[in-house]
Amino acid sequence: MPGSDITVDAFHFTTLLPTARKLLLNVESDDYGVVETRSCGGPLESYGYTEHLRQIRSFRKLTGEGVTLVGSEMLRILEEVLPARFGGSPLD
C-alpha cells in the first residue's frame, strides 16, 4: 500500500483470450483474499475449475450496506462534503 509499511498480496488479473472484451495484463483490483484449490462438486469442476476465492477484502474501497466507496471518494466526503453541509472541519 502506498505510504504504508503494510504489504498486501493483492489479486492480479490477465486476459489473453481473443474473446475477452479488453486486454488486461497483471491488473490489480485492490482486492485480496484466500485462493485455494478444492473440490466443490459443482458443474464447472468437471471442466477443471477447482480454484476458489474466499474471504475477499479490499484495501482501497469501503463497503457497507451494499454500497462501495473508493477510499479517495471517502476522503472527499469526510474532508469536504460533510464539513460544508454540517459545519466544522475535517478534524471534528
Is-contact 68 62, C-beta < 8 A?
yes
Same domain assignment for residues 24 and 1: yes
- Each residue of 9-27: pLDDT tens digit? 889 989 888 898 888 899 8
pTM of the shown model: 0.56
Same domain assignment for residues 26 and 70: no
**Average pLDDT value for residue range 55-78:** 77
Same domain assignment for residues 69 and 47: no
2 — pLDDT class (breaks 50, 70, 90): low
Same domain assignment for residues 41 and 3: yes
Predicted pLDDT of residue 4: 63
Would the pLDDT of 38 be above 90? yes
Residue that the C-alpha cell 464447472 belongs to: 44
Same domain assignment for residues 42 and 52: yes
Q: What are phi and psi of 82, to 5 degrees?
A: -65, -45
Predicted pLDDT of residue 91: 77
Same domain assignment for residues 48 and 12: yes
> Number of C-alpha atoms within 13 angstroms, CB side, residue 73?
8
Structural domain boundaries enclosing 38: 1-58
- Average pLDDT of the chain is 84
Would the pLDDT of 85 be above 80? yes
